[in-house]
Amino acid sequence: MFKIAIIGCGNMGLTYARSFLQFNLVTRENLMLIAKDKNHARNLRKMDLGKVSSKIDNKLNDYGVIVLSVKPQDFSSVIEPLSKSLQPHNVVLSVMAGITLETLSGALGHEIIVRAMPNTPSQLGMGVTGFSASTSVNIHQISIIDNLLNTTGRTIFLEDESQIDAVTALSGSGPAYFFYIIKNMIDAGIEMGLEESVAAMLAKQTMLGSFHLMNQSPKKLEELISAVSSKGGTTEAAFRKFKERGFGESLKEAVWAAQKRARELSEAK
Ligand SMILES: NC(=O)c1ccc[n+]([C@@H]2O[C@H](COP(=O)([O-])OP(=O)(O)OC[C@H]3O[C@@H](n4cnc5c(N)ncnc54)[C@H](OP(=O)(O)O)[C@@H]3O)[C@@H](O)[C@H]2O)c1
């Protein structure tokens, strides 16, 4: 079994540590958590997820997979020690938003790099991750990374790295769109005189039930919408307002805006 090191143990780094352990893809002895400062390292030790270090050094040679989960703006702080510690066989898995394979490879002087874009439901094993790899990564290494990433949910391999911008816009930012829609439904319920807890329960349970209906029904989304929209009825009145205000269009435009921003950010780095 190979060893795994995780550099940057915040939300994502800890999600990976817990998920890899949960699915027995690594043991505590073979998992190294690397924190920036001694305080954070002390807290990580208390969690007992694996070995803990506050140094990036050549002990990393031993680690088959090195996960890079610091914030993009902190990448510069790991470049020097990491590039000195890497050996050609190490597979680097970066989840840093907007940092391309070319930038990673150039900065680290390393060829074997995978870039992934997860989303927050990964914390519950219900995420979705799009990932792409530099051309030097072989199929065996891709399948190792795929197995690791799918401990946090579903995965999709993208031959074309530029599609990660669309993944970022759709599933990376997607949870926020979903929460925003629910929040506005709840607000409407409250304005209509419902208790907040009642409005929240109605909106959340409706989304949960509708999600399962969508997944289990053979019907297309348009048919599922029609099934709730009788002529002259309430849903039709709601959809008339959606059309009037261009809700569908603005949702699509918002996703496009996120994709454009993802592209700008990766071009700027
Ligand atoms: N959260 C998401 O849903 C999500 C989705 C897709 C991609 N990502 C990507 O995942 C990465 C991590 O995001 P996050 O939400 O997990 O951020 P986070 O909670 O802030 O975690 C980042 C961690 O990196 C540590 N760190 C910074 N510099 C370091 C260094 N030189 N050596 C070791 N550790 C260092 C930070 O320590 P301190 O706290 O001590 O500074 C912090 O614990 C980001 O690049 C983000 O773009 C996140």
- The whole-number pLDDT of residue 269 equals 63
- The whole-number pLDDT of residue 1 equals 75
- The whole-number pLDDT of residue 121 equals 97
- The whole-number pLDDT of residue 61 equals 87
CA 6 and chain centroid, separation: 16
43 ligand 1 Cβ < 6 A: no
Element (H, E) at 227: helix 221-228
- The whole-number pLDDT of residue 265 equals 86
The string of DSSP codes covering the chain is ---EEEE--SHHHHHHHHHHHHTTSS-GGGEEEE-SSHHHHHHHHHHTSSEEES---GGGGG-SEEEE-S-GGGHHHHHHHHHHH--TTPEEEE--TT--HHHHHHHHT-S-EEEEE--GGGGGT-EEEEEEE-TT--HHHHHHHHHHHGGGEEEEE-SSGGGHHHHIIIIISHHHHHHHHHHHHHHHHHHTT--HHHHHHHHHHHHHHHHHHHHH-SS-HHHHHHHH--TTSHHHHHHHHHHHHTHHHHHHHHHHHHHHHHHHHHHH-
Q: Whose CA is nearest to atom 3 of ligand 1?
A: 120
73 ligand 1 Cβ < 6 A: no
- The whole-number pLDDT of residue 216 equals 97
In the reported structure, the alpha carbon of residue 75 is separated from the centroid of ligand 1 by a whole-number distance in angstroms of 10
- The whole-number pLDDT of residue 2 equals 85
- The whole-number pLDDT of residue 58 equals 86
68 ligand 1 Cβ < 6 A: no
Burial (CB count <10 Å: 0-12, 13-18, 19+), residue 78:
buried
In the reported structure, the alpha carbon of residue 229 is separated from the centroid of ligand 1 by a whole-number distance in angstroms of 44
- Digit-by-digit pLDDT tens for the chain (269 residues) are 789 999 999 999 999 999 999 999 999 999 999 999 889 999 999 999 999 999 999 889 899 999 999 999 999 999 999 999 999 999 999 999 999 999 999 999 999 999 999 999 999 999 999 999 999 999 999 999 999 999 999 999 999 999 999 999 999 999 999 999 999 999 999 999 999 999 999 999 999 999 999 999 999 999 999 999 989 999 999 999 999 999 999 999 999 999 999 999 888 76
CB–CB of 158/165 below 8 Å?
no
pTM over 0.85: yes
72 ligand 1 Cβ < 6 A: yes
69 ligand 1 Cβ < 6 A: yes
Domains, the chain, with CATH or none: 4-164 (3.40.50.720), 174-266 (1.10.3730.10)
71 ligand 1 Cβ < 6 A: yes
Q: Which atom of ligand 1 approaches the CA of 70 most closely?
A: 24
31 ligand 1 Cβ < 6 A: no
- The whole-number pLDDT of residue 66 equals 98
In the reported structure, the alpha carbon of residue 73 is separated from the centroid of ligand 1 by a whole-number distance in angstroms of 9
7 ligand 1 Cβ < 6 A: yes
